[in-house]
Amino acid sequence: MDFPGMTSLNPGYRALVLGASGGIGSAFAAALRTDSRCAAVEEVSRSRDGFDITDEASVAAAAARFSDAGLRFDLILCATGALVIDGTGPEKTIKAIDAGAMAAQFALNAIGPALALKHFSPLLASEGKSVFANLSARVGSIGDNRLGGWISYRSAKAALNQITRTAAIEIARQRPASVVVAMHPGSVDTGFSGGFAKGHERISAVQSVSMMLAALDGLQPSHTGCFFAYDGQPIEW
């Protein structure tokens, strides 16, 4: 699926992808490089430069490199996260809750993006529309939860949604044209799910990213602080 380009951002916009070595992160970077309106795509990741979103010193140092270079971004995509951490997948029952595994889920899927917002949102461009998008998951929706299970991952993503909404309110005070949102990428055919998505219809990372970028392109500042699926449809909290 071809990416049509980000027409709502300033011509010559700059983009930053956090977690750019993952399946979705690398697809984001590749798609943005095809947009003639995009002047530059910057990338950070654990494998390439040691970026660790669970370590505030690492997050702060990465942001400082761009800040010290005088760089500002019209589009920041936080594509970090994991369903399976250190070999531990989602719980099927409340009896399987492990405190350490739950803490790891929150550290990576909630606290990490909060640190990214803290240190990278000041790098959002102040002129024209700017976007900061966090990868969330539909299973983080409390209202949409019909099946139960996956307590740690669901809860971490629900926390991420609240973090995103709260940050959006604050960021809008200084950047009224900003759009800060949580995005569900769909069931994407990458190694992310660790086999837990078997039996569910999956889409390619390229297709997911193309649709998410199109959805982000269509969002207005009035949509800031909300939760959307890759096809642009809103998801209940």
Per DSSP, the chain holds a count of helices (H) and strands (E) of: 7, 6
- 19-40 pLDDT, tens digit per residue, is 999 999 999 999 999 999 999 9
Of all residues in the chain, what percent carry a pLDDT higher than 70? Answer: 95
Do 197 and 187 touch, CB atoms closer than 8 A? Answer: yes
Do 115 and 61 touch, CB atoms closer than 8 A? Answer: no
Q: Beta-strand (E) ranges in 74-156?
A: 75-78, 130-135
Rounded mean pLDDT, 82-95: 96
Rounded mean pLDDT, 100-116: 98
Q: Taking the complete model, does pTM exceed 0.75, yes or no? A: yes
Using the predicted structure, report yes or no on whether residue 198 has a pLDDT greater than 70. no
Rounded mean pLDDT, 63-84: 98
Cβ neighbours around 131 below 10 Å, total: 26
Confidence of residue 200 (pLDDT cuts 50, 70, 90): low
Confidence of residue 196 (pLDDT cuts 50, 70, 90): low
Of all residues in the chain, what percent carry a pLDDT higher than 90? Answer: 91
Using the predicted structure, report yes or no on whether residue 219 has a pLDDT greater than 80. yes
| Cα separation, 128 vs 48, whole angstroms | 31
Rounded mean pLDDT, 133-155: 96
Confidence of residue 131 (pLDDT cuts 50, 70, 90): very high
Strand duo 227-229 + 13-18: pairing: unpaired
| Predicted local distance difference test score (pLDDT) of residue 87 | 96
| Predicted local distance difference test score (pLDDT) of residue 177 | 98
Rounded mean pLDDT, 56-67: 98
Rounded mean pLDDT, 174-178: 98
Instruction: Name the average pLDDT for the chain.
Output: 95
Using the predicted structure, report yes or no on whether residue 50 has a pLDDT greater than 80. yes
CA distances from 158 to 19, 100, 206 (A): 20, 18, 25
| Predicted local distance difference test score (pLDDT) of residue 212 | 98
| Predicted local distance difference test score (pLDDT) of residue 1 | 60
| Predicted local distance difference test score (pLDDT) of residue 164 | 98
